[in-house]
Amino acid sequence: MRGSLQAYKQVSVNSQLASASPHRVVLMLLGGAIERLIQAKAAMEMGNVAMKGERVSKALAIIGTLRDSLSMEDGGDIATNLDSLYDFMMRHVIDGSSNNKPDNFTEVVDLLREIKSAWEQIPAEYHHLAE
């Protein structure tokens, strides 16, 4: 049953991505990173090292994707600042995971939520500009 549920979730995510605007994809990535870090923190607090490692790995991959998607040529200071912030987040998550510091995850989640909130404020007419 669990495998079927996971397969269904993956199909659902893939279909959402296929029809999503670049704006929506970024929101999905931010939400995914937040969710994985919350799960990693819970796993850490339960002592589930394997789950913590898996969720941290996924969160880092998502943050890395967000970082890699920055247009440094077109993004100016905003892209430069986000690049530095994503770098900080990745290092902070790694430190939190390595040293069992759940507050590191909370701090990164808070930063991601701020970025997500700002991203949600972008007017709809700009959602498809990267296409």
pLDDT digits (tens, 9 = 90+) for 76-96: 999 999 999 999 999 999 999
Domains of the chain in sequence order = 22-122 (1.20.120.340)
Range in 15-19, 21-25, 97-101, 123-127 with the lowest mean pLDDT: 15-19
pLDDT digits (tens, 9 = 90+) for 11-36: 554 555 555 788 899 999 999 999 99
Q: Give the global pTM.
A: 0.83
Backbone φ and ψ for 113, nearest 5 degrees, come out as -65, -40
115: Cα within 13 Å, side-chain hemisphere: 26
